[in-house]
Amino acid sequence: MPVGAFSIQKLNRLLGRVFSQAELVEALENLGCDVEGVEELVFHRCGRCQNILERFVSALPIERCRDCGFEGDGPLEEVGRDRVIRLDLLADRPDLLDVGGLTRALKGYLGLERGLISYRVFRGDWRLVVRRSAPSYRPFIRCAVVRLRVDLPLLREIMRLQEHLHWAIGRDRKLSSIGVYNLGVLTPPIYYTALHAKKGRFTPLGMPGESLSGEEILRRHPKGVGYGHLLEGRSRYPLLVDARGQVLSMPPVINSEETRLREGVEEFFVDVTGTSQKAVEDTLATFLCSLVEWGAKVWSVEVERKDGEVEVGPNLRSRWLSVDYQRAKDWLGLEFSQEEFVRYLEKMRLSARPVGGRGKFRVFYPPYRSDIRHPVDIFEDVAIAVGYSKFPDALVPTMTVGEQREEERISDLARQVMLGLGFTEIMSLMQTTEQRHLDSFGYSSLDYVRLANPKSQERNVVRCHLKTGIMEVFVKNRLAAKPQKFFELGNVVLVDTSRETCTREERRLVFGITDREVGYAHIRAVMDALLRELVLDFEEVEYEPLEDGAFLPNRAARVRAGGYWGELGEVHPRVLESFGLTHPVVLGELCLREIEFSD
């Protein structure tokens, strides 16, 4: 999860009132933000692409530009410092990813402003034409023209918000990605077309003076390397050009150097392309609404589709949902009046209007709240506005009867026996390795669960018996005093393709003793003791010789009694050797019950 850093000074400036660090942190937490801490941030400027990079004061100075790969003599130029609140960013709330968005929410929560903001989009005369050649694998595009004087902090903020939206809504630029360009160097109309991967060339951002083909960009440019997989296997890449043929960008990878946004620019062109129409529209709306917090004015752009139809966007009008006041109270378990209900919503920057009495409301929400898809999302806003600490202590009044699982009841009996016999309980992980779980014991015919993507080869299978864990505990304690007596109760997973999940589980018990002198008779006595307690008719218990790689021949048995089955014996010295043990070990493993998954 990415972490965002938000300038306290900037927040206070946009709020128009000075709040202390503690007040801001508390308000942000009550809004649902994950506050990581407060720290000082240092900004560096790349000597080549001019991009601004940031680091925490505790980190090493930046020597290499992350955007264009430039390396100067020593660290990049330091261009400023700032005190920031660090937040774990929330993928589910893309409107809280930047200072503008946080300010908007804080203004409502802290009582500085309330209700819905209405966003005005001026009628503009720019047009974007989607050419027939535009790639159909990235079909959606929406644009806007923005007037806002760009200074250094704003440039930084725009770049950061772009990145965060790419993560939160764009799923790393797949569903949507944003491009921003200096309007002053563009000639309308803009065309959405395609770049021949090998033949088409332009100068990508951060590489002035170089002209690269699309393929070269994917190979050589850091952004090409990072996002090239989205265009992999295509012969033509998405491309935006203006009427003079000036390239704007190759979405979703890189902009051109000539159209880059610089300090001092007063008007810019914004596009969002993507593979999901909803993601494209939400991304553009969220982006623009945050810029408005900084003082931006927005003009519409006409998009002429391939079929000749013209759509005018962006749409920053508020949306609405029908919400039932009584249902809100029931859902939250809280009592509040209709007036309070409306005030809570206004505190969260929404607005509400009663419709036809009887507690029906039309709740209006701004275009940046793309997380709202159902009335329950409105209920949550009410809960946050009330404050979670204000909820009364209550339980559901319905009477129900508790009941435990059968395997837990039997496990408790077995645990009682084992503790009574002086065995100490252990727990081990269910993930283990083929080498220790199967090869060591000479189990070659067992079918077991294998993982496709384990982080380490130390844990690449799921246990199908319990012997490995207890053997590893003997290894762990090999220098401690003997005798040692351990047991473990746990589930094992067995492959069974007739089941819904192709597996079944058993609750098993394993117990073992290690000592200078210990043998079959010792473990047999323990197994008998256990079965005497678990089985009503002990006469039913049957032992049969067992030939098995894990145990010594003629020193191992299979046991069966009243639905339980298991095996026990003296562990083969070959197995001891592979675990690095030098004292004899005897083990017993008993299946207590197959787990029944209810349906």
Partner 1 sequence: MVVWLNEEQMKIYRQLRLGEAVPVGEILERTGLLEPPVMGFCVYAQRQGWVEIAQEEKDEFILRHRDFEELPERRFLREFSRVVELETREVASKCRELGLNMGDILKWGALRGWFRKEGKRFEILPEALRYLDRLDEDERALEYLRSRGRALVDELVGEGIDRDRLYRLLARRSSLVKVKRRTFRTVKLLRDLRPKLKQERVYFTPEELESGAWRELLPHLKPYDVRLPAKEVYPAKAHPLQRILHQTRQAFLELGFLEIVSPCVESAFWDFDALFQPQDHPAREMQDTFYLEHPREGKLPASSLVRKVSRTHEDGGDTGSKGWGYRWSGKLARQLVLRTHTTASTVRALASHPRPPLKVFCVGRVFRNETISFKHLPEFHQVDGIIVDERGSFATLLGTLRAFYRKMGFDSVKFKPAFFPYTEPSAEVFVWMESKGEWIEMGGAGLFRPEVTEPLGCKVPVLAWGLGLERLAMLRYGVDDIRSLYWSDMKWLKEVKLCQ
Q: Which of residues 226-285 bind partner 1 (CB under 8 A)?
A: 276-279
Q: Which residues within the stretch 159-188 sit at the binding site for partner 1 (CB under 8 A)?
A: 171, 174-175
Please give the size of the binding site for partner 1, defined by CB under 8 A.
99
**36 binds partner 1, rule: CB under 8 A:** no
CB atoms within 10 A of CB 393: 4
Which stretch in 176-184, 346-354, 382-390, 438-446 sits in contact with partner 1 by CB under 8 A? 382-390
Say whether residue 452 binds partner 1 (CB under 8 A). Answer: yes
CB of 138 to partner 1, least distance (A): 15
SS3 for 195-212, per residue?
Answer: EECCCCEECECCCCCCCE
Distances (CA, A) of 461 to 76, 472, 510: 47, 16, 19
Among 114, 147, 343, 459, binds partner 1 (CB under 8 A): 459
Find the part of the chain contacting partner 1 (CB under 8 A) among 38-46, 251-259, 304-312, 324-332.
Answer: 324-332
Q: Does the N-terminal peptide bond of residue 314 adopt cis geometry, omega within 30 degrees of 0? A: yes
Quick one: 111 or 402, whose CB is closer to partner 1?
402
The only residue of 373, 516, 536, 580 in contact with partner 1, by rule CB under 8 A:
373
- Residue 38's DSSP bridge partners are 85
Nearer to partner 1, 7 or 370 (CB): 370
Q: Which residues contact 200 (CB under 8 A, 6 or more apart)?
A: 213, 214, 237, 239
Residue 506: Cβ within 10 Å count: 18
SS3 assignment, position 95: helix
- Report whether 238 contacts 122 (CB < 8 A): no
- Is residue 331 part of the contact set for partner 1 (CB under 8 A)? yes
In the complex, minimum distance from the CB of residue 548 to partner 1, in angstroms, rounded to a whole number = 24
Among 501, 540, 545, 554, binds partner 1 (CB under 8 A): 501
Element (H, E) at 77: strand 77-88
* Contact between 132 and partner 1 per CB under 8 A: no
Closest CB to partner 1 among residues 77, 439: 439
Residue 562 backbone class (left: φ over 0; alpha: ψ -120 to 50; beta: rest): left
Contact stretch for partner 1 (CB under 8 A) within 139-147, 177-185, 201-209, 456-464: 456-464
The verdict on 580 binding partner 1 (CB under 8 A) reads no
Nearer to partner 1, 391 or 538 (CB): 391
Residues 248/162, Cβ–Cβ less than 8 Å = no
Is 375 an interacting residue with respect to partner 1 (CB under 8 A)? yes
Peptide bond into 354 cis (omega under 30): no
Task: Please identify, using beta-carbon distances, which residue of 346 and 548 lies nearer to partner 1.
Answer: 346
Contact 108, 384 (CB under 8 A): no
| Cβ 137 to partner 1 shortest distance, Å | 14
Residues of span 465-484 touching partner 1 by CB under 8 A: 473, 476-477, 480, 484
Of residues 410-449, which lie at the interface with partner 1 (CB under 8 A)? 415, 418-431, 448-449
Contact 506, 491 (CB under 8 A): yes
Query: Which residue number, 76 or 385, has a Cβ lying nearer to partner 1?
Result: 385
Q: For residues 180 and 182, what is the distance between their CA atoms, to the nearest angstrom?
A: 7
Among 3, 13, 18, 29, binds partner 1 (CB under 8 A): 29
Within residues 53-92, the interface with partner 1 by CB under 8 A covers: 90-92
The residue to which tokens 């304690």 are assigned: 477
Pick one of 95, 98, 505, 567: the residue that binds partner 1 (CB under 8 A): 505
The Cβ of residue 147 has, within 10 Å, a number of other Cβ atoms equal to: 15
Residues 474, 476, 480, 483, Cα dihedral to 10°: -10
